[in-house]
Structure 1
Amino acid sequence: MPESLFVRALLSLPLRLLCLFLGLLALPALAAAKPTVAVLYFGYGGKTPELEVLKKGLAQMLITDLSGFGTVTLVERDRLQEIIEELDLGKSQKFDAATVVKIGKLVGAQYLVVGDYFDLLSSLRIDARVIDMKTGQIVRSLGTRGSADEFFTLEQKLAQDLNKVLEELVATLPEPSDQPAPKPAGSFGAPQPALALKLTARTALRYSRALDAKDRKDVETAKKELKAVLEEQPDFTLASMDLARLMK
């Protein structure tokens, strides 16, 4: 349409419609969707079998903390657990590279967070790696170490360090597109509540056992463990929310 005719057409519109049309033209392009990140269960490299289940609590806490930063979209732990059960990987202590990539594709992740944790005497070390699903390459490796009684501090530091890496990755992404990509099912989109003021490995382990019982559909044991967790750590918001959901 010639420019003059276009202008005439606009001027012929009722004032209310004209304002609406001009307002829509002034809107900025929709921001690109945040990349999706999946935190897989970390492998346990110690010699205390009871600590192997800690991977579930650690994953849930990292997912919650990272979602709170708002940098990326996080895949929910329940969705990860569904995939693990579908692939019959429930008894696997550690996933090989091919399995890691397969899980990442099934949950629709652009980046994966994988890692390991080790205990030695009263100390605990947690190592993590961020993997780019497009290339299969490790983008960054990082870790933290300290007393098992400072589990929450170690987890918080790791979450903060991971978020810095993710911020750097997001900053390198292409300019926003006109339309955002659809949000993957089973993902966190809004900031999550703070976890607790402090948390020992002992309490985190009990919380992990509660999650494991929930995964096994043993609701009564999950409730019992969560109540015990809250007796030890009343301000553990995440455990309170889990218990509230099970009580419905």
Structure 2
Amino acid sequence: MQYPTAERWKIVILTLSLILCVAGQLSAGQVVTPELRQWAHQAIVNEAALSFEPDSQTVAVLYFHNRTGRTELDLLEKGLALMLITDLAKIDNLEVIERARLQALIQELELGASGLVDTDTTQQMGRFLGARHLVGGIFEGLPSDSIGIDSDILNVPLERLTGTAHAAGALEELLRMEKELLFEIVRLLGMDLTAEEEEALRQPIAEDIKALMLLFQGIEHSDLGDYDTAAASYRKALELEPGMDTARAALQELIDMRLISPPNDTDALLRHLHQQISVNTGPTPNAINRRQNFQPATANINVQW
């Protein structure tokens, strides 16, 4: 339907107002900013003077380590961490360290060259991040192309393993496996959930596996500073699944930070704004176990206990 020019801009202004009302809920925190790079540099330079008194309910999620031998699964290293961070942040009494802060440290420490983080470095990163609890682990290949995921929870001040969460299944069951890990991690952290929080945690970050992998691609390109390609991945993800809040928020973050150009014509802007408020976050029947074919790009950084 075509609107007169004046009417179009009334719609734009109204829509922008609605978006501003929910902007706080859509804060992505995926871009490694110059401020975060400076923070990471200073933290490492002044490591000896760091005061480490983390709140009892502060947790950081490290990247998982791909031991399957399948490079096409490298995106899951950051992807699994992103999914857990997104879910754990829904718990009111839990302070979750943003992923971009972790990424800034990894880049400053140049961990991508070695691809590994040993136990000492893991403890060090916990102190840098101010986290009492660290979550991370590995995933490896199982028969019939399935994968097994082990996620350790480490108490940083005590230098003690709290426990390990485990999930296994076909890649197409990633959404189910993440939820199994999530609720076991919550239990090991000793968190008491409200009914509302438990319901929120059961909602999947996405319904479509291909859209989810496109989100992971976007995160990887963003970390590499290739923001145009990151935006393209986010947009493709939203074409497949318009209700994916995480992809939409990451795309909006790039626009807000002027790392990419906003839509340059009124019709494109209206379509973009319409996506911001016309979303459906509920899963469709059988969507979680839907099989999708995808060709993800590979990531560069592996993190292992």
Q: Deviations over 1:149-193 (max 9, x none)?
A: 12111112211111111126x9xxxxxxxxxxxxxxxxxxxx999
Residue 128 of structure 2 corresponds to which residue in structure 1? 106
Tell me which residue corresponds to 1:125: 148
Aligned to 1:95: 117
- The one-letter code of the counterpart of 2:69 is K
How far did residue 194 of structure 1 move? 5.3
SS at match of 2:112: coil
The secondary structure found in structure 2 opposite 1:63 is helix
Query: 1:152/1:90 Cα in 2 relative to 1: closer, same or farther (>3 Å)?
Result: same
Deviations 1:176-221 (A, max 9, x none): xxxxxxxxxxxxxxx9995535242x44333222101111111001
Give me the TM-score of the superposition, normalised by structure 2.
0.59
Contact 1:116 1:127 in 2 (8 A): yes
- Code of the aligned partner of 2:112: G
Q: 1:234 aligns with which of 229, 242, 246?
A: 242
Who is 1:145 aligned against? 168
The partner residue of 2:96 within 71, 74, 77 is 74
**Aligned partners of 2:211 and 2:238 also within 8 Å:** no
Query: How far apart are residue 34 of structure 1 and its match?
Result: 5.1
Counterparts of 2:118 and 2:125, CA distance in 1: 11
- Mapped to 1, the partners of 2:202 and 2:184 lie a distance apart of 19
Cα distance, 1:230 vs structure 2: 1.9
Measured in 2, the distance between the counterparts of 1:198 and 1:64 equals: 15
Q: Any runs of at least 4 consecutive aligned residues in structure 1 with deviations exceeding 6 A, and if so which?
A: none
Aligned equivalent of 1:184: none
**Which runs of no fewer than 5 residues in structure 1 stay unpaired?**
1-31, 171-190
| 2:191 corresponds to 1:158 | no
Contact 1:210 1:223 in 2 (8 A): yes
> Structure 2 unaligned runs (5+)?
1-53, 193-199, 257-305
1:85 is matched with 107
In terms of mean alpha carbon deviation, does 63-72 or 113-122 score higher? 113-122
Aligned to 1:23: none
Greater Rg over alpha carbons, structure: 1
* In structure 1, distance between residues paired with 2:79 and 2:255: 20
TM-score (norm 1): 0.71
3-state SS of paired residue (1:40): strand
Q: Which residue of 1 aligns with 2:281?
A: none
Partner of 1:196: 205
- Partner in structure 1 of residue 37 of structure 2: none
1:143 aligned counterpart, secondary structure: strand
Q: Name the residue aligned to 2:220.
A: 212
Identity %, equivalent residues? 30
The count of aligned residue pairs is 195
